[in-house]
RNA sequence: CGGGGUGUAGCGCAGCCUGGUAGCGCAACUGCUUUGGGAGCAGUGGGUCGGGGGUUCGAAUCCCUCCACCCCGACCA
């Protein structure tokens, strides 16, 4: 492609409404333009990337034996009524009526449609298992769309649905999809992690999310350095400490701590490490008005875990200052478990410390040298805290590291939730009607593009992995309009590279070199060839990889072979 | 939906407080010069000042109202 016929919509200035790197760079490079909140036009440049991602997804799905189909984006609302999700989805579901006043919605996902299709078309166990997928536009009326295409309202998604007669078969397909997803992200050149998602469901590892690692990611994930274990931090188990509790060595004493309320303040005021403080959080209870949760001073409450405790009111709610005052008799800064008259649940990490410090339940006073089973009994124990960097992995192998990630894929063993609601059944070998068992597998195709940029950029712009770059090579000629031999060589190279099926962008503009370099770097072309009189005098053409700072001189007659080799290797 | 904020040229902004009929930078267009890291000079075009209503001799500016967009919270590929 010639730049003269492929106008670049690059801009120097960053629009004020872009916050994260990928959004800024997608606007600046001219890949997308906003139409309205959460709605974006993919330009001729951006669409090239989107299609490359899409095609990798499609290839891997096809390799995995899934069958592509396409369902309407507009769906009759009755189907949502049938599954019972109409109420559940709420205003995120965009609804409208046609001229006959029939109610429709724009599909945010397609479980209803595919299950309806399956119950009509799949009649025999001989047709199973089957995995049907589409790559299509979805619309979710997000309360707050942001970060460009990362969290848009309209977006491109690959959604797949599999149907089975037994759970072993579902498990097999789930593994098949797990492998296919891993292959896709590897092909795209992305650093990713499959992580355990909801383990609370019917046992086993029934759901995994795939995260592209990026410091700006919205999710924190914990993964082990000694095994494959990885989980969303929200779900990662903090294991019971196995070191024995030291024996008490201090006497229990009450100390004045005027105006010392936070763990930070108390620990520096009394000169005790935060690891030997216990903080007391009061939340609304389900069986009692309030309940106390104990954590070590250096730990943080994992609200998801707390929310799941039967003794805690759902959704989790912190007690108000008034509730605390009336239940305990002091304010937040002086709370402690000793002598407290409300139910107490302690985090695992609080159980093996001795001689610790906590509030005295008296305004402005703290207790020092507190010890379990001497000064107070051990309360109920639960896993309450967020896991931290360096924690032991819950599977007993290695230590956890925390990283941030962007969720780009999710695979899920659905079971019979929809097939039951829709009475989607086939006849089994015995001639009996049997409800189908389903799996569902999503990929945020347009989100991947943003995630890839989050992971691959520098202060000059995007650095595309070869497999999803809009063009693999940029040809940048120096003063082509003045030097006939530069022009001739550039034209020749352009033709040759294209002949070798390499996607090449030829900057044939009458522009200054710095201008062209800056554009090519901004839009992230991974390989650059510079042709100039300077080089030709020496019989060389300059090559530079986008992520390297140095030019490499390649003999003119070797450049084509060099490029073929270089790109093939990627 | 709750809280905060912004709408002035394609983009980024000033002007508003204290009303007098719209400006700066970048981009665009033309010409000349320049050409190995986002050029220089000269010139040109481009605005119902988010919409509607009101106050006033006069409104970008003051008042009312509607709308759009952005930021902080719950949701998700």
Q: What is the pLDDT of residue A259?
A: 80
Q: Peptide bond preceding A315: is omega within 30 degrees of 0, i.e. cis?
A: yes
Q: Confirm if A404 and A214 have CB atoms less than 8 A apart.
A: yes
Instruction: Measure the CA–CA gap between A116 and A133, rounded to whole angstroms.
Output: 14
Return the pLDDT at A570. 60
Whether residue A434 has pLDDT greater than 80: yes
Q: Verify if strand B has an atom below 7 Å from the CB of A535.
A: yes
Q: What is the mean pLDDT of residues A210-221?
A: 88
Nucleotide of closest approach to A150 (CA, C1')? B77
The pLDDT of A236-255, averaged and rounded, is: 90
Residues 192-251 of A with CB under 7 A from strand B: 209, 218-219
Strand B close to A444 by CB, under 7 A: yes
pTM for this model (two decimals): 0.88
Nucleotide closest in space to A533 (CA vs C1') = B36
Residue A136, beta-bridge partner list: A157
CA–C1' distance A16–B59 (Å)? 29
Q: Which nucleotides of B are covered by protein (CB under 7 A)?
A: 1, 11-13, 25-27, 34-39, 68-77
Confidence (pLDDT) at A144: 83
pLDDT of residue A523: 96
Which among A96-105, A234-243, A373-382, A465-474 has the top mean pLDDT? A465-474
Check whether residue A4 has its CB closer than 7 Å to nucleic acid strand B: no
Cα torsion for A386, A391, A393, A397, to the nearest 10°?
A: 180
Query: A126-135, A193-202, A353-362, A553-562: lowest mean pLDDT where?
Result: A193-202
Q: How far apart are CA A201 and CA A413, in angstroms?
A: 10
Residues A20 and A23: their CA atoms lie apart, in Å, by: 6
Minimum CA–C1' distance nucleotide for A197: B76
d(CA A409, CA A138): 15
Nearest nucleotide (CA of A440 to C1'): B77
pLDDT of A199 strictly over 60: no
Which letter, b or e, does each residue of A228-240 get, where b requires 16 or more Cβ atoms within 10 Å of its Cβ? ebbbbbbbbbbbe
Q: Which residue has the higher pLDDT, A401 or A316?
A: A401
Classify strands A67-68 and A39-42 as parallel, antiparallel or unpaired.
unpaired
Return chain A residues 174..203 having CB < 7 Å to nucleic acid strand B.
none
Q: CA A135 to CA A68: how far, in whole Å?
A: 8
Q: How does pLDDT run across A465-495, given as a tens digit for each residue? A: 999 999 999 999 999 989 999 999 999 999 9
User: Is the Cβ atom of A530 within 7 Å of strand B at any atom?
Assistant: yes
Q: Which residue has the higher pLDDT, A274 or A540?
A: A540
A482, exposed or middle or buried, with CB in 10 Å at 0-12, 13-18, 19+?
exposed
A329 beta carbon to strand B: under 7 Å: no
Nucleotide nearest to A542 (CA to C1'): B36
Q: Which helix (H) or strand (E) holds A533?
A: helix A533-537
Which residues of A in 295-324 have their CB below 7 Å from strand B's atoms? none
The protein residue nearest nucleotide B38, judged by CA to C1', is A515
Count helices and strands (H / E) in chain A: 15, 30
Mean pLDDT of A377-399: 91
Specify the nucleotide whose C1' lies closest to residue A407 (CA): B77
> Between A320 and A26, where is the model more confident?
A26
Our measurement of CA A49 to C1' B27, in angstroms, reads 26
Task: Tell me the average pLDDT across A410-420.
Answer: 91
Please tell me whether any atom of strand B lies within 7 Å of the Cβ of A552: no
Residues 71-100 of A with CB under 7 A from strand B: 92
Confidence of residue A569 (pLDDT cuts 50, 70, 90): low
Q: What is the mean pLDDT of chain A?
A: 91
**With 60 as the cut, is the pLDDT of residue A200 above it?**
no
What local confidence, expressed as pLDDT, does residue A316 receive?
79
Q: Which nucleotide has its C1' atom closest to residue A146's CA? A: B70
- pLDDT over 70 (residue A202): no
DSSP state of A289: S
Residues A58-103: pLDDT tens digits? 999 999 999 999 999 999 999 998 988 887 777 788 888 888 989 9
- Distance in Å from B38's C1' to A517's CA comes to 9
The pLDDT of residue A304 is 81
A251-255, A331-335, A541-545 — most confident range = A541-545
- Amino acid A86: pLDDT: 82
C-alpha closest to that of A498 among A471, A468, A458, A533: A471
* pLDDT tens per residue across span A122-155: 999 999 999 999 999 999 988 888 899 999 999 9
pLDDT of residue A287: 83
In this prediction, residue A149 carries a pLDDT of 93
What's residue A191's pLDDT? 94
Inter-residue contact A521 to A548 (CB < 8 Å): no
Residue nearest to nucleotide B75 (CA to C1'): A142
Residue A204: pLDDT band (50, 70, 90) is very low
């Amino acid at each position: 492609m010639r730049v003269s016929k492929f106008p670049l919509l690059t801009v120097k200035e960053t629009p004020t409404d872009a916050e994260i790197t990928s959004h800024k760079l997608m606007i600046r490079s001219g890949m997308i333009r906003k139409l309205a909140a959460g709605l974006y036009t993919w330009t001729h440049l951006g669409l090239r990337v989107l299609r490359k991602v899409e095609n990798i997804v499609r290839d891997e799905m096809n390799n995995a034996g899934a069958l592509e189909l396409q369902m309407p984006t507009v769906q009759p609302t009755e189907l949502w009524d049938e599954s019972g999700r109409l109420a559940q989805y709420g205003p995120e579901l965009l609804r409208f009526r046609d001229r006959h006043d029939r109610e429709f919605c724009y599909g945010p996902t397609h479980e209803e449609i595919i299950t309806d299709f399956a119950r009509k078309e799949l009649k025999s166990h001989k047709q199973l298992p089957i995995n049907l997928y589409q790559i299509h536009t979805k619309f979710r009326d997000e309360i707050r769309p942001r970060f460009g295409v990362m969290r848009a309202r309209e977006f491109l998604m690959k959604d797949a649905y599999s149907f089975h007669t037994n759970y072993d078969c579902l498990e097999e397909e789930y593994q098949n999809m797990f492998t296919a997803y891993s292959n896709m992200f590897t092909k795209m050149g992305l650093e990713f992690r499959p992580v355990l998602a909801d383990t609370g469901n019917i046992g086993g590892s029934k759901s995994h999310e795939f995260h592209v690692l990026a410091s700006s990611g919205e999710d924190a994930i914990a993964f082990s350095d000694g095994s494959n274990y990885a989980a969303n931090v929200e779900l990662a188990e903090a294991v019971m400490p196995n070191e024995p509790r030291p024996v008490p060595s201090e006497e229990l004493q009450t100390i004045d701590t005027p105006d010392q309320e936070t763990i930070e303040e108390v620990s520096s005021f009394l000169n005790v490490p935060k690891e030997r403080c216990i903080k007391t959080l009061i939340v609304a209870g389900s069986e009692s008005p309030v309940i106390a949760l104990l954590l070590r001073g250096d730990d943080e409450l994992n609200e998801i875990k707390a929310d799941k405790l039967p003794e805690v009111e759902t959704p989790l709610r912190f007690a108000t200052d008034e509730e605390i005052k009336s239940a305990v008799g002091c304010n937040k800064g002086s709370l402690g478990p000793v002598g407290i008259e409300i139910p107490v649940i302690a985090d695992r990490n609080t159980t093996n410390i001795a001689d610790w410090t906590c509030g005295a339940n008296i305004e402005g006073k703290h207790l020092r040298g507190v010890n379990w089973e001497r000064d107070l009994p051990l309360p109920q124990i639960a896993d309450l805290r967020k896991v931290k960097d360096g924690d032991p992995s819950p599977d007993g192998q290695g230590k956890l590291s925390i990283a941030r990630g962007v969720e780009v894929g999710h695979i899920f063993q659905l079971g019979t939730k929809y097939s039951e609601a829709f009475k989607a059944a086939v006849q089994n070998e015995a001639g009996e009607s049997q409800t189908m068992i389903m799996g569902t597998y999503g990929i945020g195709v347009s989100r991947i593009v943003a995630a890839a940029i989050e992971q691959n950029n520098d202060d000059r712009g995007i650095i595309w992995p070869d497999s999803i770059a809009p063009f693999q090579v940029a040809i940048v000629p120096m003063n082509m309009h003045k030097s006939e031999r530069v022009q001739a060589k550039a034209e020749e190279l352009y033709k040759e590279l294209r002949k070798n099926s390499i996607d090449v962008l030829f900057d044939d503009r009458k522009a200054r070199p710095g201008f062209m370099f800056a554009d090519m770097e901004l839009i992230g072309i991974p390989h650059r060839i510079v042709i100039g009189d300077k080089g030709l005098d020496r019989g060389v053409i300059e090559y530079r990889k986008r992520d390297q700072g140095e030019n490499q001189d390649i003999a003119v007659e070797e450049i084509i072979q060099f490029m073929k080799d270089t790109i093939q290797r990627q």
